[in-house]
Structures are given as structure tokens and as C-alpha cells.
A = this chain, B = another copy of it.
Amino acid sequence: MTSGGASTAVSTPRVGRPTWLYQLSKAGKLCVPAMNVNDSVTKQKFDNLYCCRESILDGLKRTTDVMFGGKQVVVCGYGEVGKGCCSALKALGSIVCITEIDPICALQGCMDGFRVVKLNEVIRQMDLVITCTGNKNVVTREQLDRMKNGCIVCNMGHSNTEIDVASLRSPELTWERVRSQVDHVIWPDGKRVVLLAEGRLLNLSCSTVPTFVLSITATTQALALIELFNAPEGRYKQDVYLLPKKMDEYVASLHLSNFDAHLTELSDEQAKYMGLNKNGPFKPNYYRY
């Protein structure tokens, strides 16, 4: 195998999901080994969870100056991105509920203190509607019709598919661009819905990405490429791989000094007791963090 043909599912944050890589692989059409960097823990938990926890606030403030305290918010999707958004908004005094299709994530939402509802049940009362599902048409025209005046709608999830923006480009509705990335869509009765970034990703369009997150994601990608390049013939076939855990741990360790964090080292006796190598990896592959 030549490393020249290797591929990493590098992505600007969360835009390109590796689904297509798995589809290519299943179809037998993947002609090089690929690393699914997107689903490595240093990407999922740090970029998606911790970064979105901040960028949802930043993106909303820069575009709308909305006060979070007391606002009724529905977050569609309680994956890592949704968890980040919910955590931040709850902490700042918003009253947050969520929608979910996955019962496990829904039960996590319950335990974290969020009502799990169907969008239709709450859409009339909401001040803010945020999508983080990775799906399409999560917010439909019918739901947009039922929103109250001044409701803010934005997408933190995936591409520009989550809100059915196309349905809003219709003759009975007027669009008014009030500032960059902010449109008022105006109904015949004067109701205004505030649409951010025309339904594209708020965190990429209306906020900035901290250098810490860029660093952690770029390091992960670089290490994946080095691994593919250096790997002995035969370690990787024409398939999709997750980054070896030891490399995930290495990425994390490179960023600890930034926080003046001091790791504890296992003693020989402790390493033996745990059945671990003192230098890691420290967790089984299925560990969830």
C-alpha cells in the first residue's frame, strides 16, 4: 500500500460526516484505507460538545443580541452538539426542552433536567428553535407557520438541511435582511421569524472557532495521516478505521500543558493490578468517556 492514496475524513467542524466513507466501504468502492477522524473522541467530545457549548451563545449574541435569561428554547437533537447547546443555555437561565428520536439520548435528556417533547407540542411557545440532528426537514414549514412573532430559528447541526428554508422562499412571505446573516421572514399578518445564516451552520457562519479546538482537531488529523503513512504494509486494508486509542490519548496529552494540568502516573503495582501499560492506552476501545 502507498500512503499517497490514504484518506482522512478531515472536516471543518461537523460538516462532513463520515457516513459516505462507510457507504463506499460497504459497497466495496473504497480504494484506500481511511481514518474516521470525525468520530474520534478528541473530535466528538471536544469540538462537538465543548466548542458548541460556547459557539451557540456566541453565534446567537453576535447576530441577535438576545438575552438568554428566561427564554423558552427547544433544542432538536440531544447528541454531543445538542448536549453542549442545552448545557450552556440552561446555565444562562433559559428554559430548555429537547426533541429526540433515540430513546437513550432522550433518557439522558431527562436525567439532565430537560423535558423531552415533540416539536409540535411546544412550537407555539418557543422563543428560540435550535436544530442539532444531522437530519433533514426537522423544522417544517408548517411549524414555521405556527411559531410566535420574533421566534429565532437556527441550525447547529449539519449542512443546511435541518430547517426547511426552501419552503420559506415563497411569494406570500417577505424576506428582510436586517444585518449580515440575519433575515426576518415576514408573514402576511406581520409575524416575523428571525432566521440565522439562512439555515446554514450557526457556529461556522456567525461565530468563531477557538484556536484550542482547531489545534485539537488538526492534531488528530495530522496524526491520522502520519499513522496511515507510517503503518507497515497490511495493518490497514481498504476500509474505514477509527484512530488508535493511544493516538487519541496522545492528542489529549499534548494539550494538557495549556491548562497547567498535571497527570498522575501509575505505579508498577497499579499498572499490573489494572492490567494496563503505564503509557496507555488506558481504556478499552468501547469506552465512551
Binding site for B on A (CB under 8 A): 19, 23, 39, 41-42, 44-46, 50-51, 53-54, 57-58, 61-62, 65-70, 72, 80, 87-88, 90-96, 99-119, 121, 125, 134-138, 161, 207-208, 210-213, 242, 248-250, 252-253, 255-256, 258-267, 269-270, 273-275, 280, 282-289
Copies per complex of this chain: 4
Residue in B69, B99, B208 whose beta carbon sits within 8 Å of that of A53 in the complex: B69
Whether B117 and A95, one on each chain, are in contact in the complex, defined by CB atoms closer than 8 angstroms, is: no
Residues of B contacting A115 with CB < 8 Å?
95, 260-261
Chain B residue with the shortest CB-CB distance to A57: B57
Give the complex CA separation of A16 and B280 in angstroms: 23
Chain B residue with the shortest CB-CB distance to A70: B110
Whether A210 and B104, one on each chain, are in contact in the complex, defined by CB atoms closer than 8 angstroms, is: no
Residues of B contacting A54 with CB < 8 Å?
61, 67-69, 92
Residue in B70, B118, B136 whose beta carbon sits within 8 Å of that of A273 in the complex: B136
Residues of B contacting A248 with CB < 8 Å?
104
- Interface contacts beyond A62-B62, A69-B110, A115-B260: sample of 7 additional A-B pairs, CB < 8 Å, sorted by A: A42-B104, A45-B108, A45-B288, A53-B93, A69-B212, A93-B111, A102-B249
Chain B residue with the shortest CB-CB distance to A105: B289
Chain B residue with the shortest CB-CB distance to A209: B65
Give the complex CA separation of A211 and B138 in angstroms: 30
Residues of B contacting A258 with CB < 8 Å?
70
Residues of B contacting A92 with CB < 8 Å?
53-54, 57, 88, 91, 113
Shortest beta-carbon distance from A106 to chain B in Å: 5
Whether B101 and A264, one on each chain, are in contact in the complex, defined by CB atoms closer than 8 angstroms, is: yes
Give the complex CA separation of A121 and B262 in angstroms: 10
- Residue pairs across A and B with Cβ atoms less than 8 A apart, 19 shown, are A42-B107, A50-B69, A50-B93, A53-B92, A53-B93, A67-B211, A70-B111, A70-B258, A87-B91, A101-B265, A101-B282, A102-B282, A109-B261, A119-B264, A125-B260, A135-B266, A136-B273, A138-B270, A288-B289
Give the complex CA separation of A102 and B44 in angstroms: 17
9 tightest A-B CB contacts, nearest first: A91-B91, A67-B210, A116-B261, A70-B110, A103-B253, A103-B252, A288-B288, A69-B111, A102-B282
Give the complex CA separation of A121 and B280 in angstroms: 23
Chain B residue with the shortest CB-CB distance to A60: B58
